[in-house]
Structure 1
C-alpha cells in the first residue's frame, strides 16, 4: 500500500531509494498466486486453491503494509473471508485420517512441522524452567531471514487475549462442534419476531432484528466440565451415532450394551420408566463424570462413546418454559394447549439480545413454530443523577438496601417507574423519591385521612345502597367519569406494558382531579349539613375513587396500596378479598363516562388556573373577592360549557361575575408572535419573513388558530400551515384588568377593589384565622364556639356586614365586637399588613 512506504525507513532505507514502477488498486491483486513461504505441509484438500490474494474488510494501512497473512485455521475473521473466497484452511490428516490443524490441543506443533515438531507455539506454555532460549516465533523469523523471504523483522507489541486465571496467551483453535442449523428457520424466526411487542420497539426491530437478519448456525458445543452433556454417542470412526432423547431410552440402550458385553452393570438400574417422582429421578446422575462412563453399542455392534462436549448453557435457559414443567414427559397439555406457553412477557437487559432473548425465540420457533413470549421489556440502566454509570471507584454508587430502608420500597418503585420507562436509562436522584413521597403518597394519604375523619364522624360504612348516578352532584358525576376514563386509560397502558404512563396517569388523577379539585371543592359537603342523600353520595364517590386508586396502583406500590385497600374494605365489608392483590382489576362503567362533562370541567379547571395565576401576579389573595372576569368564546358550544360551570368557577376563584365575549370583540386585543424555538429549526433563513407574517395576523386568523388549532399564512408567496404550538398568543393590557392566555382560552380579571369587596375580603381573612386557631387549640371539627373580637374601626364594618357568613363558616354560636376582652386568652389577629386586633375563642356551652 502506498500509505505504508514509510516502513522502508524502519529497514534502514530511504524513501528516495524507492522506485514506484506502477500503482494498482488492492482489488487488482485479488486472485494473484504466490509461493508458499514455509513449505512444511499442504492442506489435505483443495491445496491448489491455497496461497492466493483475497479481499478482506478488516485490513487497514494504519499498521504494517496493508497486506496481511491469513490463518483460516486459527482466526474467526480469517476463516470467514477465506471460506468466502474458497481458500482451504491448512489442515492435515492424522493417523485416523481425521483433518486436524498443524497445532495439537496442547498447543504444540505436529510432526509435519519437522524441526519445530512437538514444540509449544508460545514459550508461556512450557513449565517453569523448561522454555527454550529461542521461542518458535524467533526460530521462524530467523529461518525466513536466512532464506531471504523476510523483508523486515521487528518486535511488535499488540493486544492479545490472555486467560483470566493463568494470565497465559489464549490460542484460538478449530474444534469439531455440534451445531443447530438455525439458519434453516431464519425466515420464520424473523417473521415471528415481528409479532412480538418489544419495549422499546427499536430493540426488536433494530438490535434483535439485525441479529436475526445476520443469523449464523448455533454452536451448541462447549468444552467444559459442569453442565448438561451432549446426549450423542458415536463410534470411533464417526460412521454411526445415536442421539438419546430420554432417560428411559438411555436405560434401554445400556441394557443392549450389557448384552453386547460392553458394560457390566447399568447405572440406571433403579430408574423406573413412567415414575415421575422426585426420588426416582434422584436415583441417578447425568453429569459428565457419570455419563462419560456409559458405553453404548451401535446397530452394527461397534463401541460408541459419548461426545466429549457439553451443551451451551444458553440452550438450558432457552428451554426453560418446557424444562420447568418436565415437558414432554409430563404436563404436555400445559404447553401443547397454550396454557403455560407462550409467556405473556419477559424482562431482561438489552445485553440478552444474543442470549436469553434469542435462545427462547429460537427453540420455540424451531420446536413449536411459535413465539416464546408475547411481550419483552428490555431493561435500561440506573445511572447517577448526572447521567454517569454508577461505580464504587467513582463513589457514585447507591446502596439499594439503604435506599429502601430510608425511603421505603413503594416510594422508590414509584419514583423509578414514573420517572422513566423501564427500557430507558434512569438518572437516579434521591430528591426525586422525596418529591414522590410528598406529592403523590402525601396527597393520597391526606385525601384518605380527610375521608376517614368525616366518615368516622358520620359513621359512614357504605351500608346504604348506591345513590343513582343521576341523583348525584355534577362534581360527583364528573370525578366518577374521570375515574372510569382513568380505569380505561391505565388498563390500556398496563396491557401494552407501559407502566410509566400508567403511573403518571394515576398520579395526575390523584393530585389534579381528586385532591386539588374534587375534594377541595367538596369540603363543605363533608363537614356541613345533615347525613342525607347528597352527603352519602359524596362519601360513596370518594370511597370508590380511593378504592380504585388502590387497585390501579398496586402493581407499582404493592404495600401502601394493600394497606389503603384493607383500611377501606375492613370497614365497608364490600370485598371478599383480604388483599388488594387478590382483587379483580376494576371494570370500566361506560355509562358513567360523560365526555362533555369532562370537557366542561376541564374548561373550569383551566380558567380557574389562569385566574389564580393572575391573582398571584397581582398579589391578590384568593380570599379577597373580585368583581368579575371576561372570557372571549370561540363558539356557542364553548359558551354553553363555560356557563354550565360558571358557579363553580366563581366559587373557586372568588369572583362575583363571569362575562362572556364574542371572539372578535374589541375589548380584549390579541397579538401573535412566532415561537422561535420551534420555528427556527423548521424555516432557518426564512425565519425573518415567517416572524413578520405571524405578527401581522388579524383577528380572524387568530380566531381560526384558537378554534381549529392551525392556520394558513402566506410566506414569501407560498401558503404555509402553522399549528397552535408554533404561534404564541398574548393580549394587550387593559387599564384596571390583568390578562392571561392558555391556548384557546383568554381570561381578563378585573383587579379593581370596591369598599364592599374589601370588607368581604377582611371577613374571609378572619374566617381563615379562626379556623387556624381552632386547630391550634385542639378543638374538634364539630365543636361550636363563642367569639369576641376587640373593636377596630377598619374591621368593625366588615364584621357587621358579613356576620352571618362568618358564624356559619366557623361554627360560632356568637360573634361579638367588644371594647374589652374579659373572658378567655386573647389571641393576636392580623387581617392585613396594616390592620390587626385581638380576639378570644371559647367552646360554646349552648
Structure 2
C-alpha cells in the first residue's frame, strides 16, 4: 500500500509552499464596526453586572475615591461633558487596574436656576404665569424635568463606556440629600457663621434673582457713555462753589440713585473756565473730556477744545466739598447734599477722575458710602424697574434696556433739560457681565441677602497645634500658609491653608483658586427663587436674630428627610418651633440656597452618609476624596464652594487632590456655540465613529489646556485607532494555537532581540505607571500608541514575521527556539498591552480579550501586569479550559535598567533607518521590489547581530555605504535571497530543514 504524500512532499513536487507557511489566523476583524459592536458589549456588561464584579474583586483593597462633580440635569451630553467623564473614567479604570478599590458614584445637580428657567420657558410658551401656580406644583414640574434629563444623560454616559454605579447615582434633589444640605446650612447657623445684610450682589433682572460669580459670563457690548455735571454748592475752596464736578459713567440708569461723588486723594484736578461755567476734572483726563464733549452735539454747555485751565488742586484738598444732584428740583431724596468722599479706587485710567457713587449698585460705592453713613435706598426693583414711589422715573425701566439708557432715552433727556448733560454717545465698547443661563445683562443691586462671612474667626474649628509642635511633626518645615493659624482661623484662612495642602494638577490651579479665595467677598447664600433647598431659618421679628435651637433644627431636618423641600412651609412652622416658641413672633425665611452651596455639600451626602458602602473608608475616616476632577472654570465654582463649605464645617478641604481640564474648541480654536454652528455632538460622534474613537481623542489631547476637535482631527484619531487595532489583530493571529508547552521560560536563553523587546516593555510599564500617578493621560496614550506603532509594528513584528511564518514544520512541531521565544514574548506583550489599553479603549480591549479567551470574563477585571517577573509560569498562569487567568504572567530576571542593551539596540535601529532610507530610491525606480532583494554595505557591519535579519535584506557586508540588487536566488518558500538557493523557487537550507520529515 502506497503512503499518502505529506503536504511538505506535495509542496516540493509542485513548488507551491503556501500550505507549509504559518500565516496568522484570527476571527478578530480588521474593520472595527464600533457603532454596531459597542452597544452589544455594553449590554453584556450591564446584564452580567460587571460593576458589581469589579467591586467584589477589589473588596478590601487600598481605596481610591474620586468624587463626581454634579453636572446640571438639563440637556443632552455635550462634548465638554463627554471629555470630563472620559477623564474621570480613565482615573477610575487606571486606579482599578493598579489593584485599588476605586468605586465611581455618578451624580447630578438638580436644583437651581437652570432647571427652573427651563420650566418657566415652558410656562411662557403656554402663556402661564409661574407665580400663579402653587409652589409645590411648580417644584414637582422642576423635579420631573430634572429626572428626565438625569435618565437621558445617564444612558448617554453609559454608551460612552463610563463605568460606575449607574443604578444608584446621587441626586441633590433626593430627600436625603436635601436634608443633608439643610443640616450643613444649620451647622453654619449654629456656629454663628451666617448673617443677613444688605450688599450689592450680581442680580439678574430677567431671572429676578441674585447670581453667584460662577453663574456669570462676560460678553462685549456697546453702552451709552455720558458726562454729567453736578453743581458744587459748598466747599472749603471758595473758588469751587458754583463750579460743576464732571462725572463719567457707562450706566446712566445709576444716576437716579446717586448719593455722593468720589475723588482720588493723590490725583491732581483742574478747574476749567468756559463761558460762565467752570468744570472740575482730573488734569490727566481733560483731553478725553474735550474729545467727548466736542464731538457730541447732544450735550449742553460742554467746554470745547481750547478751553482755559486755571488752578490745580490736590485731590485731598476736596474734602468737605458738597455738590447737589442734577435733579435736585424734584426734592426729597434728590435734594439731599452729595458729599465728596475720598476713594482709593479712583484712578485716571478713564472718565474724569471723579466717580459718582450709588451704594445700591456697586461694591466700592457701597463700602465708601456705608463708611460715611450713606445707606442704600433700594430704588431698583427685582425686575429692573424703579419702584413706583421713586421720585424720578418711578415705575419705569428696565434699567438694562439699551433704549432706556440711550442718548435720547428718558434719563439723558431729563438730564439735558436740567442743563447737566455735557456729552452722551452710544458707542462705548466694553466687556459686561451676563447671566450664564438667560444670557441677559446683569446689574449690581443691593438687596437684603444671607451671607457667610469670610473673615470672622471660626471658634468651632479646633486651633492648630503650637508652632513648635507643627515644626517637629512636619519634618522641620512650616508652610507659610499656616502662619496665623495657631488661633482659631477665619474661613478665608482655613481655606487658604487647605489650598496649600492640596495637590493641584496642573500646578497652576493652586494660584488660580488661591487668588480667588484670597480676594473674594463674603459668600452670598440666598436666592429669590422657588426650586431649591430653602434657607431653613426663623428670624425673631423684634431682634432680627435667627433662632438657633438644636431641637428645632432637628425637627426641620427630619421633616425635609421625609418630605423634601416642600416640608418647609408656613403650615408647619409652629410644628417645628414646638411649644417653646410662637410662630407669630418669627419670620420664616423663604429664600432658597445658592445652588453652589448644594453642590458644595455633596461630599457630606456622598462620602459620609454610608449610603454607598463602597465609599466607606476602611480606616473609619469619613472625609476627603482622593480626587476632584472638573473643568478649570470650577476653581470659582464647585471646587471653591466645596472647599468653603467643608472648611466652614470641618476645618479642612473635602479633597486631597484637584485635577482640572481646559475647554474644547473647534478645529480653528474658536469657542463652540450654537449661533456659530460649530458645535460637535458626542452623541453624533459615537453614532458615526464609536465611543472608543471619542475616548482616544479625549485621552490623546493635552486636556490641561484648551484643546480642539474637528473632522480632520478625528480622522487622525481614527487612523491612530486603526493602527492600535491592527497591532492587536496581529498579536491574536500570531498567537493562534500558542500553548504552555511552546513557551520558553528562561529569558536569558532568548535571542537578544527578544530580551531587548522585553526591556522596552519593562521601560514602557514604568512610564505608564508614572503617567497614572501623575494623571498624565496624554502621555499614557501617546506612549502606548508609539510603542505599538514604532517598536512593535514597524520594528519587531516586521523583523520576526519571517521566523513566525517559516520556522515551523513537521520536523519542529513547536518551531525553532527563536520562533518559540518570539511567540513567548508575543504572549507577554498581549497580556500587558490588552491591560494597558483597557482604560482607554474600553470596548475594543474587551473585544480583543474575548476573542482570545471567550470564557475568561471581562478584561476590566484584570490587574496591572507584573512585568518585572514576566514569563516564568506561576500559579494560575495562562489560559485554561475555563479561560485565561485574571493574574498576569510572572517573570524571571529583572530586565529594567539594562541600559547597555537598550543603547546598543538604539544604535542598531538608527542604522536600520539609514538602510531603509537608502533602499527606498531603488524601490521607487523599480530596481528592486522589496528590501529582500537588496545587498547592503556598511562601514560598521559585524558583531553578534544578524543584520540581514534586522534589515530584512539579502546580505550585509562591511565597506563603504552602498546598496545594490542582489544576484542571489529567491527561496520559493520564505522568499529570502540567499547564496545557498540554487535557482529561483528552490529552497534555502532553513526551509529545507523544517520541511524534512521527522
TM-score interval (norm. to shorter): 0.5 to 0.7
- Report the 3-state secondary structure (helix = DSSP H, G, I; strand = E; otherwise coil) of the residue aligned with 2:354: coil
Contact 2:692/2:843, CA 8 A, preserved across alignment: yes
| Structure number with higher relative contact order (C-alpha < 8 Å, ≥ 6 residues apart) | 2
Shift in Å at residue 562 of structure 1? 1.3
How big is each residue's C-alpha offset from its partner over 1:488-526, in whole Å with a ceiling of 9 and x where there is no partner? 211110121111100011111111222222222222332
Residue 193 in structure 1 maps to residue 193 in structure 2: no
1:388 is matched with 670
- Which of 592, 601, 616 in structure 1 is aligned with 2:895? 592
Residue 566 in structure 1 maps to residue 853 in structure 2: no
Residue 544 in structure 1 maps to residue 828 in structure 2: yes
- Report the 3-state secondary structure (helix = DSSP H, G, I; strand = E; otherwise coil) of the residue aligned with 1:565: helix
- Which of 594, 603, 606 in structure 1 is aligned with 2:910? 606
1:442 is matched with 722
- Which of 684, 687, 707 in structure 2 is aligned with 1:402? 684
Shift in Å at residue 88 of structure 1? 3.3
1:52 is matched with 340
- Report the 3-state secondary structure (helix = DSSP H, G, I; strand = E; otherwise coil) of the residue aligned with 1:174: strand
Residue 226 in structure 1 maps to residue 531 in structure 2: yes
Contact 1:73/1:89, CA 8 A, preserved across alignment: no
- Report the 3-state secondary structure (helix = DSSP H, G, I; strand = E; otherwise coil) of the residue aligned with 2:322: coil
1:75 is matched with 362
Query: Residues 446, 333 of structure 1: CA spacing in aligned structure 2 closer, same or farther, 3 A cutoff?
Result: closer
Query: Mean alpha-carbon deviation: is it higher for 365-374 or for 650-659?
Result: 650-659
- Report the 3-state secondary structure (helix = DSSP H, G, I; strand = E; otherwise coil) of the residue aligned with 2:910: helix
2:721 and 2:766 map into 1 onto residues whose CA distance is 22
Contact 2:530/2:592, CA 8 A, preserved across alignment: yes
- Report the 3-state secondary structure (helix = DSSP H, G, I; strand = E; otherwise coil) of the residue aligned with 2:970: helix
Shift in Å at residue 549 of structure 1? 0.8
- Which of 197, 206, 217 in structure 1 is aligned with 2:522? 217
1:75 and 1:470 map into 2 onto residues whose CA distance is 77
How big is each residue's C-alpha offset from its partner over 1:93-147, in whole Å with a ceiling of 9 and x where there is no partner? xxxxxxx646677865697x7xx39x7252559xxxxxxxx998589748x93xx
Residue 21 in structure 1 maps to residue 295 in structure 2: no
How big is each residue's C-alpha offset from its partner over 1:257-307, in whole Å with a ceiling of 9 and x where there is no partner? xxxxxxxxxx95xx9xxxxxxxx7248843567767867379676722322
2:761 and 2:591 map into 1 onto residues whose CA distance is 60
- Report the 3-state secondary structure (helix = DSSP H, G, I; strand = E; otherwise coil) of the residue aligned with 1:241: coil
1:818 is matched with none
Shift in Å at residue 413 of structure 1? 1.8
- Which of 556, 568, 577 in structure 2 is aligned with 1:296? 577
Query: Mean alpha-carbon deviation: is it higher for 429-438 or for 481-490?
Result: 429-438
TM-score by length of 1: 0.63
- Which of 657, 672, 676 in structure 1 is aligned with 2:957? 657
How big is each residue's C-alpha offset from its partner over 1:534-553, in whole Å with a ceiling of 9 and x where there is no partner? 54443232112112111111
Equivalent positions of 1:78-117 (< 5 A) are 78-82=365-369, 86-91=371-376, 101=378, 116=391
2:694 and 2:439 map into 1 onto residues whose CA distance is 43
Equivalent positions of 1:676-695 (< 5 A) are none
Query: Residues 193, 513 of structure 1: CA spacing in aligned structure 2 closer, same or farther, 3 A cutoff?
Result: same
Shift in Å at residue 479 of structure 1? 1.7
Shift in Å at residue 362 of structure 1? 1.8
Residue 582 in structure 1 maps to residue 874 in structure 2: no
- Report the 3-state secondary structure (helix = DSSP H, G, I; strand = E; otherwise coil) of the residue aligned with 1:623: helix
Question: Which has more radius of gyration?
Answer: 1
2:437 and 2:702 map into 1 onto residues whose CA distance is 39
2:749 is matched with 471
2:694 is matched with 412
2:981 and 2:409 map into 1 onto residues whose CA distance is 107
- Which of 756, 759, 763 in structure 1 is aligned with 2:967? 759
How big is each residue's C-alpha offset from its partner over 1:223-247, in whole Å with a ceiling of 9 and x where there is no partner? 2121111122111123542247788
1:750 is matched with 962
Shift in Å at residue 89 of structure 1? 2.9
Equivalent positions of 1:711-730 (< 5 A) are none
Residue 428 in structure 1 maps to residue 697 in structure 2: no
Contact 2:631/2:660, CA 8 A, preserved across alignment: yes
2:445 is matched with 173
2:804 and 2:639 map into 1 onto residues whose CA distance is 55
Residue 626 in structure 1 maps to residue 929 in structure 2: no
Shift in Å at residue 355 of structure 1? 0.8
Query: Residues 243, 396 of structure 1: CA spacing in aligned structure 2 closer, same or farther, 3 A cutoff?
Result: same
Query: Residues 328, 546 of structure 1: CA spacing in aligned structure 2 closer, same or farther, 3 A cutoff?
Result: closer
Contact 1:182/1:216, CA 8 A, preserved across alignment: yes
1:465 and 1:336 map into 2 onto residues whose CA distance is 41
- Which of 784, 788, 795 in structure 2 is aligned with 1:506? 784
Query: Residues 188, 166 of structure 1: CA spacing in aligned structure 2 closer, same or farther, 3 A cutoff?
Result: closer
- Report the 3-state secondary structure (helix = DSSP H, G, I; strand = E; otherwise coil) of the residue aligned with 1:51: strand
How big is each residue's C-alpha offset from its partner over 1:133-167, in whole Å with a ceiling of 9 and x where there is no partner? x998589748x93xxxx543676658899999999
2:603 is matched with 321
Query: Mean alpha-carbon deviation: is it higher for 222-231 or for 34-43?
Result: 34-43
- Which of 523, 531, 554 in structure 2 is aligned with 1:249? 554
Query: Residues 225, 14 of structure 1: CA spacing in aligned structure 2 closer, same or farther, 3 A cutoff?
Result: closer
- Report the 3-state secondary structure (helix = DSSP H, G, I; strand = E; otherwise coil) of the residue aligned with 2:355: coil
Residue 518 in structure 1 maps to residue 796 in structure 2: yes
1:453 and 1:336 map into 2 onto residues whose CA distance is 44
Contact 1:124/1:168, CA 8 A, preserved across alignment: no
Query: Residues 293, 525 of structure 1: CA spacing in aligned structure 2 closer, same or farther, 3 A cutoff?
Result: farther
1:645 and 1:797 map into 2 onto residues whose CA distance is 19
Query: Residues 66, 370 of structure 1: CA spacing in aligned structure 2 closer, same or farther, 3 A cutoff?
Result: closer
2:777 and 2:622 map into 1 onto residues whose CA distance is 24
How big is each residue's C-alpha offset from its partner over 1:691-720, in whole Å with a ceiling of 9 and x where there is no partner? xxxxxxxxxxxxxxxxxxxxxxxxxxxxxx
1:328 and 1:389 map into 2 onto residues whose CA distance is 41
1:123 and 1:222 map into 2 onto residues whose CA distance is 22
1:561 and 1:246 map into 2 onto residues whose CA distance is 56
1:800 is matched with 982
2:556 and 2:675 map into 1 onto residues whose CA distance is 55
- Report the 3-state secondary structure (helix = DSSP H, G, I; strand = E; otherwise coil) of the residue aligned with 1:324: helix
Contact 2:669/2:708, CA 8 A, preserved across alignment: yes
Query: Residues 478, 801 of structure 1: CA spacing in aligned structure 2 closer, same or farther, 3 A cutoff?
Result: same
Query: Residues 808, 13 of structure 1: CA spacing in aligned structure 2 closer, same or farther, 3 A cutoff?
Result: closer
Query: Residues 34, 58 of structure 1: CA spacing in aligned structure 2 closer, same or farther, 3 A cutoff?
Result: closer
How big is each residue's C-alpha offset from its partner over 1:791-833, in whole Å with a ceiling of 9 and x where there is no partner? xxxx99996367755585699989xxxxxxxxxxxxxxxxxxx
Q: Which runs of 5+ in 1 are unaligned?
A: 92-99, 126-133, 253-266, 272-279, 572-576, 633-641, 660-736, 738-748, 772-794, 815-844
1:624 and 1:121 map into 2 onto residues whose CA distance is 94
Contact 2:948/2:955, CA 8 A, preserved across alignment: no
**What is the root-mean-square deviation in Å for CA atoms of aligned residues?**
4.6
Shift in Å at residue 625 of structure 1? 3.5
Contact 1:625/1:655, CA 8 A, preserved across alignment: yes
- Report the 3-state secondary structure (helix = DSSP H, G, I; strand = E; otherwise coil) of the residue aligned with 2:587: strand
Query: Residues 333, 35 of structure 1: CA spacing in aligned structure 2 closer, same or farther, 3 A cutoff?
Result: same
Shift in Å at residue 60 of structure 1? 5.8
Q: Which runs of 5+ in 2 are unaligned?
A: 1-280, 400-407, 456-489, 870-893
